[in-house]
C-alpha cells in the first residue's frame, strides 16, 4: 500500500499509467522540430497527442488501481482526477486556439505536462521539476499565442514564475533540509517532531507570502484577459489560472493528509482564512467593477480561488476528493466554458443558443442549485459550521452574495441586449443560428458535465480506484 | 386511484414545457404562448384530480414519492402533500395558468418570458411538494432566480434596479435559510444510514422528541435563519423594500405571480419548517412576529392610500393583508392559524384577480395612474364590475372569500392580544379606504378626456377574471370548501406549536 492506495508491482502497468505524461512530453519535444525543419506543421499532431493523452488518462482511471511512477511522483486518486481535468481542459483550449505562432500548442502540452507532474509530485525534486515545466510551458505558450499586451503578460508570467521558482527552491531546500528528508509527505510529520522549528518557519512563510503577493501584482489578471481581441487568448490564460490551481489542490490534499498525522503542525488557520477572505472579497468586488465579461470572469476566478483556500482550513483532509479540489474541479469546466463563449461572440453579436449555454455555466459558477457549483459550496459551509469557523462562514456568505451580482447581472444584461425581432417576416435565423460551432459545442459539453455532477448523475469519487 | 408519480408530473411538466419552448422559433409567438398555456393547464388538471382524491381527515402526507438521490449527501427526492400544501398547490397551478393568459399581450422576447414563467411555476410547485429540505431549497432558488430575470428583463430601466434589489435581499435571506437548513441536517440522523439527512419528516420527529440542542440559543438562531429566508419573500416588515419597486416596474403578470403565488412560499416555509420543527423558538419569536404583522397591516394600508400607481396600491394592499396572515400564524390559536391558512389561499385568488384586472387597464391606456382614470363603469362595465368585486373582496367584505379568514384571525387574537387585534381592525379599515379610493377613481365619474374610448372587456380577460370571481363568491358563501381541507393539518400544527 502506498499512500493508502493499492499498488500493482508490474513495471509495464506503471508505464501504462504514465502514458499520458509520456505523450505530452513527446508532443512537446516534437514541437521543437520546426526549429530544425521549418516545413513541419505540428498543430494536428499536437491536437492528436492531447486527444490520445486524454483518452489514456481515462484508460488509466479504469484500470482499477494506481501506482507510484518513480521515486519522485505518486499518482493517487486526487492526482488522477486533477490530471483528467487538466488534460481535458487543455484539449478544449487546443481545439479553439488560434495562435499567432503554431508553437503555442506544443507549449500548452508542455504546461499540461507540468501540471500533471505537479499533482503527482512526491519529492522536492519532483515538485521543482513540475513547477519549472509548468512555468516554462505556460509562459512560452502565452508568448507564442498572442502579441502586444499578451506578450507583456507572458513576460510577466515568466518573470513572476521564475521568482516564485527561486523562492520555492530556497524554502524547499531549507524546509527539507531541516526535516532531513526530500519526501514531501514525510516533511510535515518530521517537522512536527522538532518543537524548535517555528522561528525558522516564519521567514519561510514570509518569503512565500511575499512571492505570492509579487506574483499576484506582477501578473495582473486584467492584462491577461485583454486578449488583444483574439478570441482564444482569454481561454488560454483561463487555463493557466485554473490548471495549476487544480494540480496544486491535489498535491496539497496529499500533503495535508500527512499533516493530519502530525497534530502539532497544521495549516496556519488564521493566516489562511485571512488570505482567503482577501482573495474572495477582493476578487469578487474587483469582478463586479468590470465591464467586459472576460475580465469579470478572470477576477471572479480569483474570488473562487479564495473559497478553495478557505476549504483548506475548513475541510478534513482524509476525504477522497478533498474539498479544495472539489471546489476547483466544479469551477474549472464552468469557468472555461464561460470564457470560451465570452471571448468571442459570433460576429460580435450574441446568439440565443450561446446565451443559453452561458446562462447554465454562469449559474453554476454562482453556486446555484442544481448545477455543479453548489455541491462543493454546500460541503464548504457545512464544514465551516461543524468547525465553528465563524469568520469563514462570513467570508463564504459575503462571497456568495457578491458572486450572484458578478455572474447574474451581466447575464441579465446580455439577454436584455439580445437582438429581438418584431418583424413577422424575419425567419429568426439571426438569433437562432449555431455559429460559431466549436466554442458553443465545447462549452455545451462542459455544461453537460456540470449539470451531471450537480444533479448527482456523475459521481467523481466513483471514477477513482 | 391516483396514477403513479402524479406529483412529479405536476412539478416537472412546466419545466418540460419550458424546454419545449426553447426549440420553437422566436417569431412564432402565438405557438409559444399556446404551448406554454397548454403546459400550464396540465398541472392544474392534475392538481384538481389530487384535490378530489385527498383524504382531508388524515394528517399524514399523501401521494408520497420517495427516492434516494445522493445518499452521501443525505439528499433525497421526497415529495408529498398534506392539508397545508395541497390548497396552495391548487391555487398556484390556477394562478400560474391565469398569469400566462394575462401575459398574452407580451410581445418582446416572448420565448424567454413564457419559458421563465414555466420555470418559476416548477420552482413553486416543487417547493410546495418537497419533503426534503435540500430539495425544497433547490426549488426555492429556482423561483428566486426566475423572478429576478423576469423583473430585470421585462421591467425596463427601473426593472433592472428592482431586480437587483430583489436578488440581493432574497438571496441574503435564502443564504440565512440555507445555513439554518444545514444546521438542521447535521443534527438529524437517518436511522437507515446513521448519517445526517435533510429529510423533513425525520426532522419534524427528532427535533421535538429527541430535543437536540435543547436549552441552547442554537434553536433560536436556526429559527431566525429560517424566518429571515421566509420573511424576505412574504415580505415581512421591514424586509419589504423590494416590493413597491417590483410592482411598479414589472409586467402585471409578473407582479401577479410575485404577490399571489411567490409570497405564499414564505408563509409555507414558516408553517412547514420553522414552526413545527422549532416550536419553542417560534414561541420565543412570537411577540416580534405578531408586532411586525400588525405594523405591516397598518403601514401597508396607509401606504396604499397615498399612492397613485394602481400596481403599487395593490402591492401595499397585499402587504397589509399578509401582515394580518402573519398575526394569525403567530397567534398560535386554532382560529388564528385556520384564519391564516384560509387567508393565504383566498389572498392569492383576490390579488390574482386584481392584478389581472390592472393588467387589462394597463393594456388599454399604457398607465395605471389613478388620477388619470375614471368612468370605467361607462366605458367597460364588465371590467369595472369585476374589478369592483375584487376590490370588495380585498377589503374583506362579508360574503366574499377573504372575510372568513380575516374574521377568524381577528377573533383568534382578540382575547389574548387586544392591541394586535385593534391594529388588525385598523388595517381592515384602511383596506376599506384604499379599495374605495380605487373604485371611485377608476370606475366612477366621467372618463378622462385624454382616455377616449376604452375597449370593452376581452374574451381573454373574461377567461381570467370570471373563474376567479366565481371562486371569490363561492369561497365567501361556503368557506367550508377550503376550511375542511386545511383544518386537520393546521389543528395538528397548533397542537405541536402550542405544546
Q: Say whether both B176 and B253 belong to one domain.
A: yes
- The confidence band for B60, taking pLDDT boundaries of 50, 70 and 90, is confident
| pLDDT, position A65 | 47
- The confidence band for A245, taking pLDDT boundaries of 50, 70 and 90, is confident
Most confident region among A53-67, A140-154, B107-121 by mean pLDDT = B107-121
Q: Which residues of B touch A428 (CB under 8 A)?
A: 25-27
What is the average pLDDT value for chain A, to the nearest integer? 72
Q: Which residues of A touch B145 (CB under 8 A)?
A: 363, 368, 408
| pLDDT, position B453 | 61
Whether A428 shows a pLDDT value over 50: the answer reads no
Whether A243 shows a pLDDT value over 50: the answer reads yes
What is the 3 state secondary structure string of chain A?
CECCECCCCCHHHHHHHCHHHHHHHHHHHHCCHHHHCCCCCCHHHHHHHHHHHHHHHHHHHCCCCCCECCCCEECCHHHHHHHHHHHHHHHHHHHHCCCCCCCHHHHHHHHHHHHHHHHHECEHHHHHHHHHHHHHHHHHHHHHHCCCHHHHHHHHHHHHHHHHHHHHHHHHHHHHHHHCCCEHHHHHHHHHCCCCCHHHHHHHHHHHHHHHHHHHHHHCHHHHCCHHHCCCHHHHHHHHHHHHHHHHHHHHHHHHHHHHCCCCCCCCHHHHHHHHHHHHHHHHHHHHCCCCHHHHHHHHHHHHHHHHHHHHHHCCCCCCCCHHHHHHHHHHHHHHHHHHHHHCCHHHCCCHHHHHHHHHHHHHHCCCCCCCCHHHHHHHHHHHHHCCCHHHHHHHHHHHHHHHHHHHHHHHHHHHHCCCCCCCCCCCHHHHCCCCHHHHHHHHHHHHHHHHHHCCCCCHHHHCC
What ipTM does this complex have?
0.73
The rounded distance, in Å, linking the Cα atoms of B149 and A366 is 15
Overall average pLDDT of the A408-412 stretch: 88
B25 contacts A427? CB cut-off 8 A: yes
Overall average pLDDT of the B418-439 stretch: 92
- The confidence band for A63, taking pLDDT boundaries of 50, 70 and 90, is very low
Residue pair B383/B376 in contact (Cβ under 8 Å)? The answer is: yes
Closest by Cα among A419, B459, B154, B23 to B31: B23
| Residue B199, beta-bridge partner list | B132
Question: Is residue B158 situated within a structural domain?
Answer: yes
* Facing residue for B109 by CB, picked from A405, A420, A461: A420
- The confidence band for A461, taking pLDDT boundaries of 50, 70 and 90, is low
| pLDDT, position A139 | 83
The rounded distance, in Å, linking the Cα atoms of A407 and A233 is 21
Q: Say whether both B268 and B366 belong to one domain.
A: no
Q: Which residues of B touch A422 (CB under 8 A)?
A: 107-108
Count of domains observed in chain B: 2
Q: Which residues of A touch B142 (CB under 8 A)?
A: 369
More confident residue, B236 or A207: B236
A415 contacts B141? CB cut-off 8 A: no
| pLDDT, position B115 | 94
**Quick one: residue B256, left, alpha or beta (phi over 0 = left, psi -120 to 50 = alpha)?**
alpha
| pLDDT, position A416 | 82
The rounded distance, in Å, linking the Cα atoms of B474 and B52 is 17
| pLDDT, position A2 | 44
More confident residue, A351 or B453: A351
Q: Say whether both B15 and B128 belong to one domain.
A: yes
| Residue B67, beta-bridge partner list | B77
Question: Is residue B286 situated within a structural domain?
Answer: no
The rounded distance, in Å, linking the Cα atoms of A432 and A356 is 11
- Give B253-290 pLDDT, tens digit per residue: 999 999 999 999 999 999 999 988 888 888 888 899 99
Element (H or E) spanning B39, and its range?
helix B29-53
More confident residue, A165 or A17: A165
The rounded distance, in Å, linking the Cα atoms of B10 and B89 is 10
Q: Say whether both B261 and B307 belong to one domain.
A: no
Question: Is residue B295 situated within a structural domain?
Answer: yes
Q: Say whether both B232 and B322 belong to one domain.
A: no
Q: Say whether both B218 and B77 belong to one domain.
A: yes
Closest by Cα among B206, B328, B201 to B272: B201
Task: Please give the residue of chain B at the shortest CA–CA distance from A390.
Answer: B179
Q: Which residues of A touch B107 (CB under 8 A)?
A: 422
The rounded distance, in Å, linking the Cα atoms of B424 and B327 is 8
A269 burial level (CB within 10 Å; 0-12, 13-18, 19+): middle
Residue B305 DSSP SS3? helix
Q: Say whether both B272 and B324 belong to one domain.
A: no
Question: Is residue B498 situated within a structural domain?
Answer: no
Question: Is residue B319 situated within a structural domain?
Answer: yes
| pLDDT, position A232 | 56
Q: How far apart are the first and last CA of chain B?
A: 36
| pLDDT, position B311 | 92
Q: Say whether both B209 and B269 belong to one domain.
A: yes
Overall average pLDDT of the B174-198 stretch: 86
Specify the range with the lowest mean pLDDT, choosing from A300-314, B417-431, B458-472. A300-314
Most confident region among A198-207, A397-406, B364-373 by mean pLDDT = A397-406
Interface of B with A in 164-183 (CB under 8 A): 164, 167-168, 171-172, 175, 178-179, 182-183
B109 contacts A412? CB cut-off 8 A: no
Question: Is residue B94 situated within a structural domain?
Answer: yes
| pLDDT, position B173 | 92
Whether B304 shows a pLDDT value over 90: the answer reads yes
| Residue B68, beta-bridge partner list | B76
Q: A350: Cβ–Cβ under 8 A, 6 or more apart, which residues?
A: A414, A417, A418
CA distance B73 to chain A (A): 9
Interface of B with A in 47-76 (CB under 8 A): 69-70, 72-73, 75
* Sign, CA torsion B448/B449/B450/B454: positive
A416 contacts B186? CB cut-off 8 A: no
Phi and psi at residue B65, in whole multiples of 5°? -130, 130
The rounded distance, in Å, linking the Cα atoms of A403 and B440 is 48
Most confident region among A437-451, B82-96, B204-218, B456-470 by mean pLDDT = B82-96
Task: Please give the residue of chain A at the shortest CA–CA distance from B172.
Answer: A401
B163 contacts A412? CB cut-off 8 A: yes
Q: Say whether both B230 and B316 belong to one domain.
A: no
Q: B246, B277, B308: which is the final residue of a domain?
A: B277
Q: Is B20 on the interface with A (CB under 8 A)?
A: no
Q: B245, B277, B309: which is the final residue of a domain?
A: B277
Q: Which residues of A touch B152 (CB under 8 A)?
A: 412, 416
Q: Is B25 on the interface with A (CB under 8 A)?
A: yes
pTM (2 d.p.): 0.83
B27 contacts A385? CB cut-off 8 A: no
Q: Which residues of B touch A375 (CB under 8 A)?
A: 73
| pLDDT, position A242 | 84
A408 contacts B179? CB cut-off 8 A: no
Overall average pLDDT of the A151-160 stretch: 74
The rounded distance, in Å, linking the Cα atoms of A180 and A134 is 27
Question: Is residue B285 situated within a structural domain?
Answer: no
Q: Which residues of B touch A387 (CB under 8 A)?
A: none
Q: How far apart are the first and last CA of chain A?
A: 13
Q: Is B12 on the interface with A (CB under 8 A)?
A: no
Residue pair A330/A447 in contact (Cβ under 8 Å)? The answer is: no
Whether A74 shows a pLDDT value over 90: the answer reads no
Whether A343 shows a pLDDT value over 80: the answer reads no
Overall average pLDDT of the A417-444 stretch: 58
* Facing residue for A368 by CB, picked from B27, B145, B149: B145
Closest by Cα among A420, A308, A286, A300 to A361: A300
Number of Cβ atoms within 10 Å of the Cβ of B478? 11
Side-chain-facing half-sphere of A429: CA atoms under 13 Å: 2
Whether A368 shows a pLDDT value over 80: the answer reads yes
Retrieve residue A37's grid coordinates.
525543419
Phi and psi at residue B70, in whole multiples of 5°? -135, 85
Most confident region among A56-70, A145-159, A307-321, A357-371 by mean pLDDT = A357-371
| pLDDT, position B422 | 92
Whether B45 shows a pLDDT value over 80: the answer reads yes
| pLDDT, position A265 | 44
Chosen from A368, A375, A395, A423 to mutate, greatest number of chain B CBs within 10 A: A368
Retrieve residue A270's grid coordinates.
488564521
| pLDDT, position B467 | 92
Whether B251 shows a pLDDT value over 60: the answer reads yes
Q: Say whether both B257 and B378 belong to one domain.
A: no
| pLDDT, position A42 | 54
Q: Which residues of B touch A423 (CB under 8 A)?
A: 27
DSSP B56: T
Most confident region among A259-263, A353-357, B44-48, B158-162 by mean pLDDT = B44-48
- The confidence band for A420, taking pLDDT boundaries of 50, 70 and 90, is low
- The confidence band for A417, taking pLDDT boundaries of 50, 70 and 90, is confident
B186 contacts A382? CB cut-off 8 A: yes
| pLDDT, position A95 | 75
Most confident region among A425-429, B120-124, B174-178, B479-483 by mean pLDDT = B120-124
Whether A81 shows a pLDDT value over 70: the answer reads yes
Whether B211 shows a pLDDT value over 80: the answer reads no
The rounded distance, in Å, linking the Cα atoms of B210 and B219 is 13
What is the average pLDDT value for chain B, to the nearest integer? 89
| Residue B309, beta-bridge partner list | B369
Q: Which residues of B touch A378 (CB under 8 A)?
A: 73, 134, 182
B138 contacts A397? CB cut-off 8 A: no
Q: Is B108 on the interface with A (CB under 8 A)?
A: yes
Whether A300 shows a pLDDT value over 70: the answer reads yes
For chain A, list residues whose CB is within 8 angstroms of any CB belonging to chain B.
Answer: 352, 356, 363, 368-370, 375, 378, 381-382, 385-386, 393, 397, 400-401, 404-405, 408-409, 411-412, 415-416, 418, 420-424, 426-428, 431-432, 456, 461
CA distance A367 to chain B (A): 11
* Facing residue for A385 by CB, picked from B72, B73, B183: B183
Specify the range with the lowest mean pLDDT, choosing from A61-70, A450-459, B9-18, B133-142. A61-70
Question: Alpha helices of B232-278 — where are they, by DSSP H?
Answer: 242-249, 252-256, 263-269, 275-277
More confident residue, A465 or A209: A209
Whether A116 shows a pLDDT value over 70: the answer reads yes
Chosen from A284, A353, A363, A369 to mutate, greatest number of chain B CBs within 10 A: A369
* Facing residue for B153 by CB, picked from A378, A381, A415: A415
Q: Which residues of A touch B153 (CB under 8 A)?
A: 412, 415-416
| pLDDT, position A12 | 47
Q: Which residues of B touch A400 (CB under 8 A)?
A: 171, 175
- The confidence band for B145, taking pLDDT boundaries of 50, 70 and 90, is very high
Task: Please give the residue of chain A at the shortest CA–CA distance from B196.
Answer: A382
* Strand B75-81 with B62-70, pairing: antiparallel
Side-chain-facing half-sphere of A153: CA atoms under 13 Å: 27
Retrieve residue B436's grid coordinates.
374605495
Overall average pLDDT of the A381-409 stretch: 86
Chain A to chain B, count of Cβ pairs less than 8 Å apart?
82
A405 contacts B168? CB cut-off 8 A: yes
Overall average pLDDT of the A32-44 stretch: 61
Whether A93 shows a pLDDT value over 90: the answer reads no
Question: Is residue B499 situated within a structural domain?
Answer: no
Overall average pLDDT of the B484-491 stretch: 87
Q: Say whether both B310 and B332 belong to one domain.
A: yes
B107 contacts A426? CB cut-off 8 A: no
Q: How long is chain A?
A: 465
Whether B52 shows a pLDDT value over 60: the answer reads yes
| Residue A183, beta-bridge partner list | A123
Task: Please give the residue of chain A at the shortest CA–CA distance from B30.
Answer: A424
Q: B254, B277, B300: which is the final residue of a domain?
A: B277
Distances (CA, A) of B441 to B385, B435, B447: 14, 10, 10
Q: Say whether both B260 and B407 belong to one domain.
A: no
Chosen from B161, B171, B174, B221 to mutate, greatest number of chain A CBs within 10 A: B171
| Residue B76, beta-bridge partner list | B68
CA distance A318 to chain B (A): 15
| pLDDT, position A51 | 60
B241: containing domain:
1-277
| pLDDT, position A207 | 67
Amino acid at each position: 500500500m502506498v499512500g493508502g492506495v493499492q499498488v500493482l508491482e508490474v513495471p509495464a502497468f506503471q508505464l501504462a499509467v504514465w502514458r499520458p505524461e509520456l505523450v505530452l512530453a513527446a508532443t512537446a519535444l516534437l514541437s521543437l522540430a520546426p526549429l530544425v525543419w521549418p516545413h513541419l506543421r505540428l498543430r494536428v499532431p499536437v491536437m492528436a497527442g492531447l486527444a490520445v493523452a486524454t483518452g489514456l488518462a481515462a484508460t488509466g482511471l479504469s484500470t482499477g488501481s494506481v501506482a507510484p511512477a518513480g521515486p519522485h511522483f505518486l499518482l493517487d486518486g486526487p492526482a488522477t482526477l486533477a490530471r483528467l481535468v487538466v488534460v481535458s481542459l487543455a484539449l478544449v483550449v487546443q481545439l479553439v486556439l488560434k495562435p499567432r505562432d503554431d508553437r503555442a500548442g506544443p507549449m500548452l502540452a508542455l504546461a499540461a505536462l507540468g501540471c500533471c507532474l505537479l499533482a503527482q509530485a512526491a519529492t522536492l525534486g519532483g515538485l521543482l521539476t513540475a513547477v519549472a515545466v509548468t512555468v516554462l510551458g505556460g509562459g512560452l505558450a502565452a508568448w507564442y499565442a498572442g502579441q502586444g499586451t499578451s506578450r507583456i503578460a507572458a513576460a510577466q508570467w515568466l518573470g513572476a514564475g521564475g521568482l516564485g521558482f527561486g523562492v520555492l527552491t530556497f524554502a524547499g531546500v531549507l524546509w527539507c533540509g531541516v526535516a532531513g528528508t526530500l519526501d514531501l509527505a514525510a516533511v510535515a510529520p518530521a517537522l512536527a517532531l522538532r518543537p524548535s522549528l517555528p522561528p525558522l518557519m516564519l521567514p519561510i512563510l514570509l518569503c512565500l507570502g511575499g512571492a505570492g503577493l509579487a506574483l499576484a501584482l506582477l501578473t495582473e489578471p486584467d492584462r491577461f484577459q485583454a486578449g488583444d481581441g483574439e478570441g482564444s487568448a482569454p481561454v488560454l490564460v483561463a487555463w493557466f489560472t485554473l490548471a495549476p490551481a487544480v494540480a496544486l489542490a491535489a498535491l496539497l490534499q496529499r500533503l495535508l493528509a500527512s499533516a493530519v498525522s502530525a497534530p502539532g503542525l497544521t495549516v496556519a488557520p488564521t493566516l489562511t482564512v485571512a488570505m482567503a477572505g482577501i482573495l474572495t472579497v477582493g476578487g469578487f468586488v474587483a469582478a463586479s467593477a468590470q465591464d467586459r465579461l472576460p475580465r469579470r470572469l478572470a477576477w471572479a476566478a480569483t474570488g473562487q480561488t479564495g473559497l478553495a483556500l478557505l476549504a483548506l482550513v475548513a475541510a478534513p483532509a482524509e476525504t477522497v476528493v478533498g474539498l479544495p479540489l472539489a471546489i476547483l474541479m466544479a469551477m474549472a469546466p464552468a469557468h472555461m466554458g464561460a470564457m470560451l463563449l465570452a471571448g468571442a461572440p459570433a460576429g460580435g453579436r450574441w446568439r440565443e443558443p450561446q446565451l443559453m449555454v452561458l446562462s447554465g455555466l454562469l449559474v453554476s459558477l454562482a453556486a446555484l442549485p442544481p448545477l455543479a457549483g453548489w455541491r462543493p459550496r454546500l460541503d464548504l459551509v457545512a464544514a465551516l459550521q461543524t468547525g465553528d469557523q465563524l469568520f469563514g462562514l462570513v467570508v463564504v456568505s459575503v462571497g456568495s452574495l457578491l458572486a450572484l451580482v458578478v455572474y447574474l447581472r451581466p447575464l441579465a444584461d446580455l439577454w436584455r441586449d439580445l437582438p429581438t425581432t418584431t418583424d413577422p417576416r424575419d425567419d429568426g435565423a439571426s438569433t437562432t443560428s449555431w455559429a460559431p460551432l466549436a466554442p458553443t459545442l465545447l462549452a455545451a459539453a462542459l455544461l453537460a458535465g456540470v449539470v451531471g455532477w450537480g444533479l448527482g448523475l456523475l459521481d467523481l469519487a466513483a471514477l477513482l480506484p | 386511484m391516483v396514477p403513479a408519480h402524479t406529483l412529479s408530473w405536476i412539478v416537472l411538466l412546466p419545466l418540460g414545457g419550458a424546454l419545449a419552448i426553447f426549440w420553437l422559433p422566436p417569431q412564432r409567438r402565438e405557438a409559444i404562448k399556446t404551448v406554454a398555456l397548454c403546459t400550464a393547464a396540465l398541472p392544474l388538471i392534475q392538481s384538481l384530480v389530487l384535490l378530489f382524491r385527498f383524504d382531508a381527515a388524515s394528517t399524514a402526507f399523501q401521494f408520497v414519492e420517495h427516492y434516494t438521490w445522493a445518499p452521501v449527501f443525505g439528499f433525497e427526492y421526497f415529495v408529498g402533500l398534506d392539508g397545508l400544501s395541497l390548497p396552495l398547490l391548487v391555487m398556484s397551478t390556477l394562478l400560474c395558468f391565469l398569469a400566462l393568459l394575462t401575459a398574452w399581450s407580451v410581445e418582446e422576447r416572448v420565448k424567454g418570458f413564457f419559458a421563465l414563467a414555466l420555470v418559476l411555476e416548477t420552482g413553486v410547485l416543487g417547493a410546495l411538494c418537497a419533503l426534503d429540505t435540500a430539495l425544497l431549497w433547490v426549488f426555492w432558488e429556482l423561483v428566486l432566480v426566475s423572478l429576478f430575470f423576469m423583473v430585470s428583463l421585462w421591467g425596463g430601466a427601473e426593472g433592472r434596479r428592482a431586480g437587483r434589489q430583489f436578488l440581493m435581499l432574497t438571496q441574503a435571506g435564502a443564504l440565512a435559510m440555507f445555513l439554518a437548513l444545514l444546521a438542521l441536517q447535521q443534527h438529524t440522523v437517518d436511522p437507515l444510514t446513521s448519517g445526517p439527512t435533510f429529510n423533513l419528516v425525520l426532522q419534524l420527529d427528532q427535533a421535538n422528541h429527541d430535543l437536540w440542542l435543547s436549552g441552547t440559543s442554537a434553536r433560536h438562531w436556526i429559527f431566525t435563519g429560517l424566518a429571515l429566508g421566509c420573511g424576505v419573500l412574504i415580505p415581512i416588515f421591514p424586509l419589504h423594500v423590494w416590493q413597491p419597486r417590483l410592482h411598479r416596474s414589472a409586467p402585471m403578470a409578473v407582479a401577479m405571480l410575485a404577490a399571489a403565488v411567490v409570497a405564499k412560499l414564505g408563509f409555507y416555509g414558516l408553517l412547514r419548517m420553522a414552526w413545527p420543527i422549532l416550536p419553542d423558538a417560534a414561541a420565543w419569536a412570537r411577540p416580534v412576529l405578531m408586532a411586525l404583522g400588525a405594523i405591516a397591516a397598518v403601514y401597508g394600508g396607509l401606504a396604499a392610500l397615498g399612492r397613485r400607481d394602481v400596481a403599487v396600491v395593490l402591492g401595499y394592499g397585499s402587504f397589509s393583508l399578509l401582515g394580518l396572515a402573519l398575526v394569525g400564524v403567530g397567534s398560535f390559536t386554532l382560529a388564528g392559524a385556520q384564519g391564516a391558512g384560509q387567508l393565504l389561499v383566498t389572498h392569492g385568488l383576490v390579488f390574482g384577480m386584481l392584478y389581472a384586472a390592472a393588467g387589462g387597464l394597463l393594456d388599454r391606456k399604457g398607465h395605471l395612474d389613478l388620477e388619470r382614470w375614471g368612468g370605467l363603469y361607462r366605458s367597460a362595465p364588465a371590467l369595472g364590475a369585476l374589478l369592483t368585486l375584487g376590490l370588495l373582496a380585498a377589503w374583506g367584505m362579508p360574503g366574499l372569500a377573504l372575510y372568513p379568514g380575516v374574521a377568524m384571525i381577528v377573533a383568534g387574537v382578540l382575547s389574548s392580544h387586544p392591541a394586535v387585534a385593534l391594529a388588525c381592525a385598523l388595517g381592515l379599515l384602511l383596506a376599506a379606504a384604499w379599495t374605495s379610493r380605487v373604485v371611485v377613481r377608476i370606475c366612477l365619474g366621467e372618463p378622462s378626456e385624454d382616455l377616449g374610448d376604452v375597449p370593452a372587456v376581452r374574451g381573454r380577460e373574461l377567461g381570467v377574471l370570471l373563474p376567479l370571481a366565481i371562486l371569490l363568491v363561492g369561497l365567501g358563501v361556503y368557506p367550508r370548501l377550503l376550511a375542511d381541507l386545511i383544518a386537520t393539518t393546521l389543528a395538528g400544527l397548533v397542537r405541536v406549536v402550542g405544546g
